[in-house]
Amino acid sequence: MSFGWAYVDCGTSGGGQAAGPTGSVQFLTGANSTSGSASLLYHTSAYGGYTASTLVMTGTLVVDGIISASHYHIENVTEIDSSGSTYFGNSDNDLHSRTGSLVVIDEANNKILSASTTTEAVHVRGLNVLYEPVTGTSVTASAPSYILGVQNTSNVEILIPSASIYGSGSLLLVKDEVIRVGTNIRLSASSGYTIDGSSFYILTGTLPAISLYSNGANWFVF
C-alpha cells in the first residue's frame, strides 16, 4: 500500500495564517488568506454586557432567506416592510404588549384603527361586533356577545351572566327581531347581581330593545 505526501508551510511565506482581533469570525480576504474584524466577534465567555456564546455584529445584515430564533430583542425599528401575511403568537395565553400609539391604515392611506396614548382614545372607521341569535325560549348570554337578536315569538328568558364575567365597561344590547303577540322577553340577572337594582327586567311591546352596561359589580340600563 502506498501513500501520497503533502507539503504544509505554516510560516508567513506560505500564507494561510489567520489574522484579526481575538474572537473575530474569519472570512476569506485573498488567495489562501483569512482575516477577521472587530465588527464581527464571537464571545465564548461573558464580555461587557453580553452573555457567553454571543455573536456580535456591528453594521448591516442582509438575509436572503429565513431567520429562525426562539427569542428576538429588536431596538430602534424604523420600518417593517413585508409582503404577505404575518402572524404573532401561537396560543391563547400569549400576550403582545407595545408602548406608544397605534395606527392601522389601508393601501389608500385611510385610517382604519388608531389608539392614541395622548388622548387615550380609540378611533375606528367602522365597528362590527359579535352578534348572537336567540332562537330558544331559555338561553344564557355568553361573553363576549354584544348584540342578542331575539328571533323566537314565544316568551323568552335570557339569563344575563354576572357583571364581573363581562367586566367593567362591557356593553350588552338585546333586541326583539320579530313581532310578538301577548309574549315578552325577560332578562334575569344571575344570582347576586342586579339590573338597575332589580333581579329581572321585562321587555314588552312592539320590537323593543334594551342596552346594558356593566360596572364590574352590576348591570345598568342606558
**Residue 48 pLDDT:** 83
Query: Cα–Cα distance between 160 and 214 in angstroms, integer?
Result: 11
Instruction: Report whether pLDDT(10) > 60.
Output: no
Sheet strands (E) in the chain: 27-30, 33-35, 40-43, 54-57, 102-105, 111-115, 122-124, 131-134, 138-140, 147-150, 156-160, 171-176, 185-189, 200-203, 209-214, 219-221
The answer to whether the Cα torsion of 197, 198, 201, 202 is positive or negative is negative
Instruction: Report whether pLDDT(109) > 80.
Output: yes
pLDDT tens for each residue of 56-106: 999 999 988 888 888 888 888 777 777 788 888 889 999 999 899 999 999
Query: Cα–Cα distance between 37 and 27 in angstroms, integer?
Result: 9
Beta carbons of 144 and 161 less than 8 angstroms apart: no
- DSSP, res 216: S
Mean pLDDT of the chain: 89
pLDDT tens for each residue of 12-29: 555 556 788 989 999 888
The CA–CA distances, whole Å, from 193 to 23, 24, 143, 218 equal 67, 68, 16, 5
CB neighbours (10 Å) of residue 172? 23
The answer to whether the Cα torsion of 214, 215, 219, 222 is positive or negative is negative
Instruction: Report whether pLDDT(54) > 80.
Output: yes
Query: Cα–Cα distance between 79 and 143 in angstroms, integer?
Result: 37
Compute the chain's Rg from CA coordinates: 33
**Residue 4 pLDDT:** 62
Of 39, 81, 37, which Cα lies nearest the Cα of 60?
39
195: which 3 cell numbers? 339590573
